[in-house]
Amino acid sequence: MVYPREALNRLRWKGGESLDDATIWYIHRGASGDYLKISGSSIRNLESYFLETDDSSIPYHRILRIDHGDKTLFLKDETASDLK
């Protein structure tokens, strides 16, 4: 199983790929549908237990899905495959 931090680090460090091109869906209580999505370009740092953006810190356990282009790199469960 690939974990969110692992997938994001691969994009950050693997040649020919870019974290900027990723889309990350995560649980955000109170948002429409209880989730939000961000672009990988908004990620400032990948810490041990969370990722940092300019506005917040998002724990990895709240990440539901990570896409890069037309490829899904991480899917927490099948319900996350319907996110748009």
pLDDT digits (tens, 9 = 90+) for 8-47: 999 999 887 899 999 999 999 988 889 999 999 999 999 9
Cβ–Cβ under 8 Å, residues 27 and 66:
no
Beta sheet of 63-68, edge-to-edge order: 35-39, 22-27, 63-68, 71-75
Q: Would you state the pLDDT for residue 14?
A: 87
Contact 22, 66 (CB under 8 A): yes
Domain 4-78 has CATH 2.30.30: yes
Is the pTM higher than 0.75? yes
